[in-house]
Amino acid sequence: MEDNIINSPTPPDERNFRPLTLDDFIGQSDLKKTLRLMLGSARTRSTTLEHVAFYGGPGLGKTTLAGIIASEQEARLHELSGPSLMKPGDLAQVLVCLQRGDVLFLDEIHALKRELSELLYSAMEDFKVSIKPDGVDKPITLSLHPFTLIGATTDYGLLPEPMRARFGQSFYLSAYTIDELQAVVLRAAARLGYMTDEQALNGIAIRSRGTPRVALRLFRRCVDAAVNLQTDIIDGPLVENTMPLLGLDMLGLEDADRKYLLTLVTVYNGGPSGPRAIAANAGLDLATVERVIEPALLVTGLIARTPRGRRVTRKGYAHAKSFAVKLPVINWKKVENADSEISEEIAAEQQ
Ligand code: ADP
């Protein structure tokens, strides 16, 4: 996948912006309510918190929540990533070293190899692991201290059923609203000692694809511009002048996003069409289309999901007009009818 402003790796200083308490964590109010209840109950009963899973797109706050859970429980946090674990022994070694109440954060848990997932089942359920050291015929079973596993994934559907069943609670992280993203940026600005205004906050928030990590990254580029201008005020004009330098338009779209939108409108007359066909026609790779471009266009309301693929919305068409020389006239009745096809199919089946 391309390394762009949306996908580039988390810089080390991002940790400075991570909230440490649930109160400081912006948005996701239903999730916070349930989590607060679970944390309170575990504290009162002096037990370890049940295992929890967080799922949702990158940059929505899964790692941050793991840190919050550990700090709210005054527990030690250990961080691992599914793809980095090669052998069952690697995981077993970490598990046996956990102390009572420790929090183990396992990122990209869907990418765990099968033998490792199986090892995790008994660790999660009975706090036991069975391992077979080299040169020994029979496996040996080791008891573990009770711990909390926090699994994070962008692909919840890829988790094996026995794994899903062993989480006490699975939380979905949804895209953030403009107001919430503004609050994320305001908090970072206050921390770094910059003044902002409404126009600046809004200019960053609308281009952030519903994602705090993107909002913070765009904000950091505005800080760079402010440093260059020797000012500690990040205002609307500064933001609006900085965004085009990053290749971002009024709604935060990059070149690849615009190519996708234009293909949907010009080649497929607004759709519906499947991501594979759009990707091939636009010269984009399918993984980038499915994981980066479509989620952003959906959250910005420029395309919509239908049973037969994606279609452009009226807002998407208007936006495409802002950068395309000539667009075909869209038959909106046909394009928007695609949304209701599923209900018609269900009605037909029921008759
Ligand atoms: P994920 O693990 O889902 O990829 P992270 O937890 O690493 O996402 O979050 C990315 C960045 O966004 C972090 O710097 C974090 O501080 C910030 N962030 C994410 N969610 C929130 C939130 N709800 N409130 C404030 N900051 C947030």
Instruction: Name the residue ranges covered by the structural domains of the chain.
Output: 4-173, 178-246, 255-345
CATH annotation of 4-173: 3.40.50.300
CATH annotation of 255-345: 1.10.10.10
Q: Exactly one of 18, 113, 154, 314 is catalytic; which is it?
A: 154
For the whole model, what pTM was predicted? 0.90
pLDDT reported for residue 15: 53
Q: Exactly one of 63, 64, 153, 306 is catalytic; which is it?
A: 63
pLDDT reported for residue 349: 54
d(CA 101, CA 309): 46
d(CA 279, CA 16): 37
| 126 a catalytic residue | no
Q: Do domains 4-173 and 255-345 have the same CATH topology?
A: no
Q: Is-contact 159 53, C-beta < 8 A?
A: yes
Cβ–ligand 1 contact at 58 (below 6 Å): yes
Radius of gyration over alpha carbons of the chain, in Å?
23
pLDDT reported for residue 134: 78
Supply the DSSP string of 186-225, one letter for each residue.
Answer: HHHHHHHT-EE-HHHHHHHHTTSTT-HHHHHHHHHHHHHH
Q: What is the dihedral of CA 198, 200, 206, 207, to 10 degrees?
A: -170
Distances (CA, A) of 287 to 26, 57, 302: 29, 14, 19
Architecture of domain 178-246: Orthogonal Bundle (1.10)
Residues (pLDDT < 70) of the chain are: 1-16, 341-351
Q: What is the dihedral of CA 68, 72, 75, 79, to 10 degrees?
A: -10
Count the residues in the chain. Answer: 351
